[in-house]
Amino acid sequence: MQGTNRLQIKGMVCTRCITIIFDELSLIGLEVTSINLGEVFFKGDLPGHISEDQIQSLLHKYGFALLSDKKLALVSQIKDCVKNAIDLQSENKTTPKFSEYLSTQLRRDYAYLSSVFSDYEGITLEKFIIQQRINKVKEQLIQTDKSLTEISDEWGYSSVSHLSRQLKTYTGFDTYHFKNLRKNNLLSAAMHMA
């Protein structure tokens, strides 16, 4: 019995893209079982006369790209390394240079890592790093009574105003919003205890 395989395709944004890819892959002999934005499932293996490079060329004519599993795995490794670096930063109270840390951990040039990440995630690696740091800042604002100055120092921000601007930019809310969430959570917990 033949299994089902999957191709991941970058650049699919509408039903017309699905139709084009279905038609083109069917013409080369793939038995497509289902297709969604970003992925195609087909029965069996690639026909012997078709290589991934040929599929890549075919897709490229229409502005699509075949995503390789190796690069997807690399993006996952990048995300894990960023999270580890942020955890280390929290434990050691030092700000790592993310470009050096990622290059060392993954044994790749940072420019390459950044390029692959942007291609697959649709945002820059720098923005992803900032988002992850901001998530930790939000947690501290909601779960601790640390001042913004303490949090800013802990996460290596150049100033409280820099942290405040990033928080507002990436969440849409200011620090008071998150502090109020903490107060409301504490108030709610106190009322449940009474």
Q: What per-residue confidence (pLDDT) applies to 132? A: 92
pLDDT given for residue 187 in this prediction: 61
pLDDT in tens, 29-51: 888 999 987 788 888 877 777 88
pLDDT recorded at residue 115: 92
Instruction: Report the chain (194 residues): mean pLDDT per 10 consecutive residues.
Output: 73 86 89 86 80 85 81 83 85 77 92 91 91 90 87 85 91 84 69 60
Predicted local confidence at residue 88, as pLDDT: 82
Predicted pLDDT of residue 191: 63
Q: What confidence score (pLDDT) does residue 1 get? A: 41
Helix, strand, coil share of the chain (percent; to 5): 65, 10, 25
Q: Show the domains of the chain with their CATH numbers.
A: 4-67 (3.30.70.100), 69-122 (no CATH), 126-194 (1.10.10.60)
122-136 burial: b if 16+ Cβ within 10 Å, else e: eeebeebbeebbbeb
Instruction: Give the pLDDT confidence of 156-183 residue by residue, as tens digits.
Output: 788 889 999 999 998 898 888 888 887 7
Tell me what pLDDT residue 99 has: 92
> Tell me, what amino acid is at 66?
L
- What b-and-e string marks burial along 16-37, b requiring 16 or more CB atoms within 10 Å of the CB? ebbebbeebbeeeebeeeebee
Which pLDDT score, from 0 to 100, does residue 97 have?
86
